[in-house]
Amino acid sequence: MLLEVKDLNTYYGSSHALQGMNLQVDEGELVALLGRNGMGKSTTLKSIMGLVKPRSGSVKFRGVDITGLAPFKVARAGIGYVPEERRIFPTLTVFDNLMMGVKRGKMVTGDPDAWTLEKIYSHFPVLEKRRRQKGHTLSGGEQQMLAIARTLMGNPELLLVDEPTEGLAPLMVKEVRDMLADVHKAGVSTLFVEHNLKVAMSLAQRLYLMGKAHLAFTGTVEELDAQPEIREKYLEV
């Protein structure tokens, strides 16, 4: 098991945002985390990353307990995080944004599967074209590409992506979707949060569906397809 989240409880002040959350991601999987607004999807990813500290429960990565570690330690353990708002560094160039993702300032060398600048540029040609531009001058879609590429520069074994297609034009949605499929095919296990059901169903192998602060359903895309009442209860408005 690559990632194992068990009985996680997270609070914001007195509000109980995760109430015994569970999920798992296996090596090589592409898994979606779905649910309506405010259910706790982002909080789940942030709790894994150590950006918010869970009060109880455990997060294990490759069997090692990483619950509540500082975010930089979680990242160094091998988990990459692409946040909801992309959070590109606005005053840094595209190139420097990419460099920020490099762990301990050292590029990985000698590993043919590693994400290097060349490999990033060949997967994300637009970033090479814009490498001297400041982060804040990129379009939403380009910022999303950069956010994913920046995290890949750290060669994570597991990628956590929060709402990659949010606020993008339809054409861009497809491009980002294909990019995630591409990155997954390149060998990166991925857990992503997605509101766009079509994107999620076409990309994921397995799904987790959240109700308020807890897990409501888990299964394959086909299993969810066969249960319209669950989709209605937890997804459709």
Partner 1 sequence: MDSTTAMYVAQGIHGLAYGMILFLVASGLTMIFGMMGILNLAHAAFFMLSAYFSYQALAMTGNYWIALLAAPLATAVVGVLVERFLLRKVHAFGHVGELLLTVGVSLVILDAVKAFWGTESLYVDLPESLKGLIHVGGLEYPVYRLFVIGLALVVLFIMAFLLYRTRLGMVVRAAVSDADMVNALGINVPLVFMLVFGIGTWMAGVAGVAIAPILTVFPGLADQMGMDAFLVVVTGGFGSLSGAFIISLVFGELSSYGVQFISALAPVLMFVLMAIILVIKPTGLFGERE
Ligand X SMILES: Nc1ncnc2c1ncn2[C@@H]1O[C@H](COP(=O)(O)OP(=O)(O)OP(=O)(O)O)[C@@H](O)[C@H]1O
Q: Residue numbers of the site for partner 1 (CB under 8 A)?
A: 49, 51, 70-72, 74-76, 81, 83, 87, 89-92, 96-97, 99-101, 103-105, 150-151, 154
42 in contact with Mg ion (CB under 5 A): yes
Q: 153-169: b or e for each residue (b if 16 or more CB lie within 10 Å)?
A: bbbbbbbbbbbbbbebe
Q: Which does 49 bind (CB under 5 to 8 A by kind): ligand X, partner 1, Mg ion, none?
A: partner 1
For 231, which DSSP code? H
Quote the DSSP letter at residue 234.
Answer: H
Query: What single letter denotes the amino acid at residue 100?
Result: M
* CB within 8 Å of 227: residues ≥ 6 apart: 217
- Partner from ligand X, Mg ion, partner 1, none binding residue 12, C-beta < 5-8 Å depending on class: ligand X
Kindly list the strands in the beta sheet with 56-61, ordered across the sheet, starting from the edge strand earlier in the chain: 15-25, 3-12, 56-61, 64-65
Binding string, residues 147-176; x marks residues near ligand X by CB under 6 A: ------------------------------
104 binds, among partner 1, ligand X, Mg ion, none (CB under 5 to 8 A by kind): partner 1
Q: Which residues bind Mg ion (CB under 5 A)?
A: 42
Q: Which residues bind ligand X (CB under 6 A)?
A: 12, 15, 17, 35, 37-43
